[in-house]
Amino acid sequence: MHRDILEIIRIMRQNYRRDISIYDKSFLEKSINKRVGALGLKSSMDYIPYLSESGIEADQFFDSLNITYSEFFRNPLTFAILEQWILPKIIEAKAGASEIRVWSSGCALGQEAYSLAMLLDKLISARPKPTRYRILGSDISLAALLAAKKGVYDVSSMRNVKLSYIDEFFVKEGDAYSVSTKIKEHVTFASYDLLDQIYDYPEESIFGHFDLVFCSNLLFYYLPEQQQFIVDKIMRAIAPNGYLATGEAEKHLILKQKGINEVAPPASVFQKKWRGGVIRNEESENQQ
């Protein structure tokens, strides 16, 4: 299969000007096998000539590499830590004076961005003074972004959403649920490639400086060089003492980075160091 992958990489680059060599080889192999099965072919050897002659298949294969699966409140432990500790700290630090800025990178169909908006809305509404917040969701898939902007989800997508949240933040439309306007007005979606060589963050964010960045269940699709490129970029986009949340499978990648501190083990939540230190973690100190 290794030679087949190299040949498919060559075809995509030479025939269609698309570089897929940046992806993890096991991920590419699984993706190729899925296309082989979908087309009713016997093996990747049969897929190679088919791909080389079909621009439509090249588009479909390339699109299949952009994973757009997500869930509301995915990684429950991470969201619990955010709700009970991290987001209240961020809100307190802002004290109603400036805007809370959050980036959901690789936002897929928008569930992650809307989940964060719901948490922030609940926490802020319980305080005496309002605090402005803005969530930016970005993805490379235009189809995923279109669905995210619509914010309409079927019943099965709602299984992780509290009933009280469904009542407050969604409007039932037949067999589907639409995100309410009160949440949508705080969320912006933009097209952005995390491997962009020019911009460290989507232009729509204006200046980066995010209080919280989500980069979850995304890094492991890439080779180590691309993983490091993305992590470095995100680190530059996080505000001093800001936070990063990743998927559990990516935790080991972040633990190797300088300038960041694990703050809520076993959840994959980290804080960016500031001038050689971090904000004192009272909760952790009390446990020692």
**Phi-psi sector, 40: left (phi>0), alpha (psi -120 to 50), beta:** left
What pLDDT was estimated at residue 206? Answer: 84
- pLDDT for 36 equals 96
pLDDT at 96: 65
Q: Using CA atoms, how far apart are residues 105 and 116, in angstroms rounded to an integer?
A: 13
Tell me, what's the pLDDT at 275? Answer: 56
Closest of 212, 245, 231 to residue 76, by C-alpha = 245
User: d(Cα 169, Cα 256) in Å, to the nearest integer?
Assistant: 38
141-174 pLDDT per residue, tens:
999 999 999 999 999 999 999 999 999 999 999 9
Task: Quote the pLDDT of residue 273.
Answer: 84
Would you mind telling me the total number of residues written for the chain in this entry? 288
Q: Which two tokens stand for residue 288?
A: 């020692």
Element (H, E) at 246: strand 238-246
For residue 56, the surrounding DSSP H or E stretch is helix 55-64
pLDDT at 69: 84
Question: According to the model, what pLDDT value does residue 1 have?
Answer: 55
- Entry pTM: 0.89
Go through the domains of the chain in sequence order and give each one's CATH number: 2-64 (no CATH), 76-287 (3.40.50.150)
pLDDT for res 284: 38
Residue in the block written with tokens 């989507």: 202
Provide the 8-state DSSP code for 274. B
Q: Which residues of the chain have pLDDT under 70?
A: 1, 96, 275-288
Sign of the four-CA dihedral 171, 177, 183, 187: negative
The confidence score (pLDDT) of residue 285 equals 37
For 132-187, the DSSP string reads -EEEEEEES-HHHHHHHHHTEEEGGGGTTS-HHHHHHHEEEETTEEEE-HHHHTTE
Find all residues with CB under 8 Å of 258, minimum gap 6, and list them: none
